[in-house]
Amino acid sequence: MKFNRRNFLRSASVLATCSLVEIDHFAAAQQLRNDGNEVAEDDEHYWQNVRLLFPLKKDWVYLNNGTMGPSPYPVIDAVHKGMMEGDNLGRYGGWESTAAKLAAFVGADADEIALTHNVTDGINIGCWGVPLKKGDEVILTTHEHVGNAFPWLSRQRLHGIVLKTFTPAATADETLNRINSLITKRTRVIAVPHIPCTQGQILPVKEICALARDKNIHSIIDGAHGPGMLLLDLHNMGCDTYASCTHKWMLGPKGTGFMYVRKDFQDTLQTYFVGGGSDNAQWDMACHPVKMGEYASSAHRYYGGTQSLGLYRGVDAAIDFIETIGMTNIHKRIKGLGHYTQQRLLEFGEKIDMLTPTEERSRCAVNGFRIKGVDNAKFYQDCMSQAVQIRTVAENGLNSLRVSTHIYNNKEEVDKLIELIKKAV
């Protein structure tokens, strides 16, 4: 079906005034469909219509997708419908099919995807499951989110592993050099973020994984910001594991995520958190001696128990929503907005420290910066009082600010932030 702006505009303006129940989400989603055609990165009509599909308040400039991605109506609606689907008949199960849908979205196989509740779940599966002895070394950045720092710090305390850190550099090549120079005979794991939360630069993760593989080192990647921002092909990336969520850039329900574990790595990565679904149904507590059976032959071995049908129906809907618009179109739009933001910030010259690299391959939708001579925490509060939400960055003593833009944002919103910075400087 061809994208019809006039029809869509009509239903979008209806959407803006109707209650959730009255909105015909299906029709609106149909209007977004464009047969995979290219949408121009600066087609403001199209992107404004997309914005109308989000419950975000009209005058609230939300520039903090890096923390939480608000869901569009079709996702919220699918959560509701999914709950009804389960609760009408007391149905159990039904969420397993989401693993296959996620796998197709990130370039993996269905049996390599474990369903989780957030990035932290996946990082813990990777961190605690990789066999390490006292003195074994793990390489991380100095820019870790607590979710990728604390599990490894805990293993340092409990198991005596040694953590070595580097600071991400302004270029991908220099970042690789820094990692290379930390590798010793005791290095067992490189556990870095694809995109650190601090300043949103894209690390050269494919090269990092290749380097790791060459030296028999495991690559355990924190992929919090990858899916929904970048086009992913995890097989091509070559990582051993990739922990992510569907509640940031994928715009899915909060409390949902996934963990990719490369098929050949599943016999190495031990599983500690097990229950219903992580077994192969061969255990028997009534025979003597009791029988263990085996772990499930897929990444299901890494999670067990009851999941929420509603939430995972919401994840399905988030993937449908993204694919309706087109992941390539989304990536181009948010990279364009990120570039616009960076250029506008660079106009301040010496008055601002631009922390995110300007290198093409290392930047996308997130920009980190510091306003010189200004209390950045106070500036953040000033922004909030003017209905502009960004994020402060306390990690690594950076004391800086972060702005992240998604498809529901536009240049005028970025300009509003720029005006506030002008006043502050």
Ligand X SMILES: Cc1ncc(COP(=O)(O)O)c(C=O)c1O
Distance in Å, CB of 245 to ligand X, minimum: 4
- The DSSP bridge pattern shows strands 113-116 and 257-261 to be antiparallel
Question: Six-digit token pair at 159?
Answer: 């198991």
C-alpha to C-alpha distance for 276 and 278, rounded to whole angstroms:
6
Which residues are within 8 A (CB) of 156 and not within 5 positions of it... i.e. 6 or more apart?
162, 163
Paired residues of 354 in beta bridges: 369
Among 139, 190, 197, 230, binds ligand X (CB under 6 A): 197
Strands (E), 290-419: 352-354, 366-371, 388-389, 391-393, 400-404
Q: Indicate the residue among 240 and 395 with the shorter CB distance to ligand X.
A: 395
Considering only residues 22 to 51 of the shown chain, the ones binding ligand X according to CB under 6 A are none
Q: Between the CA of residue 292 and those of 232, 305, 322, what are the distances in Å?
A: 37, 18, 42
Q: Given the structure tokens 């997708």, which residue do they identify?
A: 65
118 lines the binding site for ligand X (CB under 6 A): yes
Tell me which stretch binds ligand X (CB under 6 A): 2-10, 40-48, 192-200, 372-380. 192-200
The kind and range of the H/E element at 6 are helix 5-17
How far apart (Å, rounded) are the C-alpha atoms in residues 130 and 313?
31
Q: Are the C-beta atoms of 113 and 259 separated by less than 8 Å? A: yes
Identified binder of ligand X from the candidate list 25, 51, 145, 262, rule CB under 6 A? 145
Task: Indicate whether 200 belongs to the interface with ligand X (CB under 6 A).
Answer: no
Nearer to ligand X, 23 or 140 (CB): 140
Closest approach, Cβ 133 to ligand X, in A, equals: 26
Interaction between residue 67 and ligand X (CB under 6 A): yes
Among 31, 120, 199, 271, binds ligand X (CB under 6 A): 120
Closest to 313 measured CA to CA, from 77, 21, 19, 30 = 77
Of residues 337, 329, 391, the one with CA closest to residue 364: 337
The yes or no reply on residue 392 touching ligand X (CB under 6 A) is no
Of 119 and 337, nearer to ligand X (C-beta) is 119
Of 222, 316, 395, 413, the one binding ligand X by CB under 6 A? 222
Report in angstroms how near the CB of residue 21 gets to ligand X at its nearest: 30
Q: Which of 32, 113, 208, 245 is close enough to bind ligand X by CB under 6 A?
A: 245
Q: Which stretch binds ligand X (CB under 6 A): 3-11, 112-120, 261-269, 278-286?
A: 112-120
- Residues lying near ligand X in the complex (CB under 6 A) are found at 67, 118-120, 145, 147-148, 193, 196-197, 222, 224, 245
